[in-house]
Structure formats: C-alpha cells, structure tokens
Amino acid sequence: ISGSGRAASAVVATQTLDRDPGDDGNDPWPPPPPSPPPPPPCSKETAAAASRVEAGGSGSGVLGGRWGLLEASAINHGSRNLRLDIGICAGERGGCEVLDIVAAQPLTKGAEVFNTYGEHGNSELVNKYGFALPYNPFNELLVDKGAVMAAVETVMGHREAKKRARFLEQYSDLLSADEEPFLLLPPRHVNTALFVALWVLAAEGRRMEQWASLEDALKPLRTAWHLQRDEKQQQPYQRLAAVAEAAPEAKTAVATGGDAGKGEAKGKKR
C-alpha cells in the first residue's frame, strides 16, 4: 500500500469508526481522541524498516502479511463496535521484540489502554484485571428463575402461574436451574431462553388454550421472523403485493390506485 493510499484508507476507517451505530439508546461511546502525530524517524527505525522490506515484511513476510490482513479487515469491516480476531501480533524489529496491537480507534500518546483476552463482562474484568468499563457490550446480568416465577405469580395469580409453569416444564427445560440461564444483555435485551419463557408466562388464557405444544406457542414468532427476513429480500413492488394480499382494504386501495394510474396514462396519450 502506498503512502497516499494508506493515508486515504486511514481517513475512511476513521470516518467509519466515528459513524453513529444507530443504537436505540444514548450513544455510550465517547468521541475518539485525535490521531497522534507520527513519531520522528530515527536511525534504528529506518534500519528496521529497511530490514523488513528486505525480508518481505511490507506485505509478503509473515508479520507484514498478517498485519496487512488485519489492516484490510479494519478498513473493510470497521464500525464503532469493531471486533478483530487475533488482533495482537508479536514480532521483532530492529533486533527488539515488539507487540503490535490493533486498536479500533486512534490513540494518543499516554492514553490509558485496556488490553484483555476474550469477551468479558465487567465482573470478570474486575476479578481478573481490576478495572471495569463504563459501557461493556459483554455484560450479562443473571436473573434467578425462581424470582421470575414469583413475579409472574404476583401478576397472574397462583393458579395461572402454576398452569404456565406446568406447560413449560412439560414441553421444555426452560425453568430447569441446570439448563440455559435467564440473562439481561446490553443495551436493553434478554437472551432467547428468557424471552421464550416470558412469552409463555405472560400469555393470555385464551391464547394459551390453543397451544398443544411449545411449537404452537412459537409459531407467531417464527412467522414474524420469516416475514421480516422476506421483507428485506423483496423489492418495493413485491412488498406492496404482500400487503395487498394480506389486507382486503389495502388490496382495494392498490387496485384503485393502479386503475387511476392507467387512466392518467391513457389521458396523456390522447
């Protein structure tokens, strides 16, 4: 990559990283600090650069090739929630062992950097490293299943709560303490197990009477998921046809609009 091309790529990557991720809450990410000025060249760095070129480190060597792949990944897939696999490269330059670490945003000299291994919530970070992050996408809050059932009983009553609990116990292991836990996830989400359990526990009695299994309970969710997936794949006229097919009122409106358009077109021809 030439010097001008590398600079242009860095600008594009910075703009991409600074883009609003479109989260449904307040943006927890602080604005990135300005890019640090390039360090003044020294004889050792110049010699190291020359040795890397001779060894193929500019792109064909092991370290250079790996670094180039990481750089391309950062540019092509960069975002505020950038995640890079194996973003730490150990190598040797100028007779010194170095550790190159890929950062998701520019860093200034003297800035505090948290270097951890793995996707850890704040509880693990505090336990292992002694610090926590103000916004951590890997935070998880464990919700006690007994507390969930107690809350359902308070809202639905003892009889209805027991009825729903028996349904879940008969057709799933969701209420088992040894199976998948109930979790609250950032920014305001729950994991699949808790969502399905709440879907059943909070269901109206008339709807629940129509269920013969958990599959029946999940049919509306599956239908909604398929509709959302298909909607993303359809062209605008295909989505309009689907709406017209589902709602007679919409179908009538579309037909009227189509006839009006034809009449207007004929009028123009005359």
State pLDDT tens for residues 220-241: 888 888 887 777 777 666 666 7
Together in a domain, 100 and 170:
no
Name the domain boundary from 108, 128, 156: 108
Together in a domain, 28 and 11:
yes
**136 within a domain of the structure (yes/no):** no
Phi, psi of 183 (to 5 degrees): -130, 145
Together in a domain, 214 and 247:
no
Together in a domain, 178 and 244:
no
Together in a domain, 203 and 246:
no
What's the order of all strands across the beta sheet hosting 189-190?
141-143, 182-185, 189-190
Phi, psi of 135 (to 5 degrees): -135, 115
Together in a domain, 102 and 153:
no
Residue 20 has pLDDT above 90, yes or no: no
Name the domain boundary from 87, 108, 129: 108
**114 within a domain of the structure (yes/no):** no
Together in a domain, 14 and 90:
yes
**130 within a domain of the structure (yes/no):** no
Q: What is the average per-residue pLDDT within 167-180?
A: 94
How far, in whole angstroms, is CA 269 from its chain's centroid? 53
**36 within a domain of the structure (yes/no):** yes
Residue 156 has pLDDT above 50, yes or no: yes
Together in a domain, 159 and 255:
no
Phi, psi of 93 (to 5 degrees): -135, 130
Q: pLDDT-derived band of residue 24, with 50, 70 and 90 as boundaries?
A: very low
Together in a domain, 226 and 252:
no
> Residue 267: its pLDDT value, please?
47
**Dihedral Cα 247, 248, 253, 259, nearest 10 deg:** 130
Q: What is the average per-residue pLDDT within 186-214?
A: 92
Residue 91 has pLDDT above 70, yes or no: yes
Enclosing domain of residue 37: 3-108
**159 within a domain of the structure (yes/no):** yes
Note the pLDDT tens digit of each residue in 30-69. 555 565 566 555 555 555 555 444 444 444 444 455 556 6
Domain count, the chain: 3
Together in a domain, 35 and 91:
yes
Contacts 24+ apart (CB under 8 A), 88-91: 89/63, 91/63
How many other CB atoms sit within 10 Å of the CB of residue 6? 12
Residue 268 has pLDDT above 50, yes or no: no
> Residue 201: its pLDDT value, please?
95
> Residue 93: its pLDDT value, please?
80
**113 within a domain of the structure (yes/no):** no
Q: Say which range, 38-47, 84-93, 160-169, 256-265, has the weakest mean pLDDT.
A: 256-265
> Residue 133: its pLDDT value, please?
82
**132 within a domain of the structure (yes/no):** no
Together in a domain, 226 and 249:
no
pTM above the 0.95 mark? no
Together in a domain, 72 and 147:
no
Element (DSSP H or E) covering residue 99: strand 96-101
Most confident of 33-37, 114-118, 139-143, 149-153: 149-153
**129 within a domain of the structure (yes/no):** no
